[in-house]
Structure 1
Amino acid sequence: MSFHLSDSTNEQELSEINVTPFIDVMLVLLIIFMVTVPLATVTVPIDLPIAKANVEPQLEKPIILSLNQQQELFLGNEPLPLHNLATALDQLTVNNRDMVIFFQVDKTIPYEILMNVMNQLRTAGYLKIGLVGLENKEQAEN
């Protein structure tokens, strides 16, 4: 390594750019994009109703609305015509529309029927609706 010392005022500036930090930053960004892009894609095939969340204890008796395979509506264990849904819920909840209605639906029910019942609930003023699914894989097979 040699140095050239001169007394002249015509010194040359170092004009090289250090690209190593730039390359390091670009490689880190490339790795981040390679990891996050596959997570952002959505696949459409759906086979839902199994939930693995921990069950929290209930303070009061839940209101369970059921729609079976024959498209019959039940409030608790009692059959209920769809046009009486609002009045039956008002009686059961004592007009407390902030209560959560747990809605369990057979997985063979067409989406249109499900949305019709959900619209009836919304029209009646019940906006807090919890959809019920199975808790684990063993229950799904039985």
Structure 2
Amino acid sequence: MMIGSSNKRLMSDINVTPFVDVMLVLLIIFMVTAPMMVQGVNVSLPETTAQPLPSEKEHLIVTIDQKGQVHISNYPVAMESLRHKLSKILEGRSDREVYLRADKKIPYGNVVKVMAEIKAAGVEKLGMVTVPIDETPADR
């Protein structure tokens, strides 16, 4: 038996504490920022008696807000580049279908200009988004 011998084995365990710390910080960051990512463009839609269409897939939506700014899926787009950007987006899609959400206070002429740009981009089907008359503003 050797007196005073030291155990010189290497420690092979990995310290995961820093990894867990980083993961928890990332989790908190994503939890805080995720609700901000789902906010859309605030638009007061016109009312109609038409019933909503059933749908399982996500549609491409062009929005005209109260200030007349055009958005494609909540991303602002200049009117001059709307046709080009829509054409690029539609290249990778099997359905060439777009839905237009226009604030009810926007002049009809501006809505028609946006509709013309959408059709010029090669859209085969253009739908208008409205809300039912009996729906309250808080439900929108």
TM-score normalised by structure 2 residue count: 0.57
Larger radius of gyration: 1
2:47–2:130: 8 Å Cα contact kept in structure 1? yes
Match of 1:117 in 2: 114
Amino acid at match of 2:99: F
- Does the CA-based 8 Å contact 2:87-2:122 persist in structure 1? no
User: How far did residue 65 of structure 1 move?
Assistant: 0.3
Query: CA offsets, 1:27-54, max 9 Å, x none?
Result: xxxxxxxxxxxxxxxxxxxxx5224414
Structure 1 runs of 4+ aligned residues shifted over 4 Å read 95-98
**Coordinate RMSD, CA, aligned:** 2.3
* Identical positions, percent: 21
Deviation at 1:106, TM superposition (A): 0.4
**Alignment of structure 1 residues 37-76 onto 2, 5 Å:** 49-59=47-57, 61-76=58-73
* 1:118 counterpart SS class: helix
Q: Cα 1:132–1:98, aligned 2, differ >3 Å: closer, same or farther?
A: same
How many Å apart are 1:118 and its aligned residue? 1.0
> Structure 2: which 5+ residue stretches go unaligned?
1-45
- Tell me how far 1:135 sits from its aligned partner: 3.3
Offset, 1:129: 0.5
Matched, 1:103 2:100: yes
- Please state which structure has a larger fraction of its residues in strand: 2
Consecutive unaligned residues of structure 1, counting only runs of 5 or more, are 1-47
Letter paired with 1:104: R
Query: For the Cα contact (< 8 Å) 1:97–1:126, is it kept in 2?
Result: no
Q: Describe the shift of the 1:51–1:64 C-alpha distance in structure 2 as closer, same or farther (beyond 3 A).
A: farther
- Structure 1-normalised TM-score? 0.57
Count of residue pairs the alignment pairs up: 94
**Per-residue CA distance 1:56-109 (angstroms, 9 max, x = gap):** 1223x2100000110000001100011111221122222658521010100011
Inter-CA distance 122–57: structure 2 relative to 1 (3 Å threshold): closer
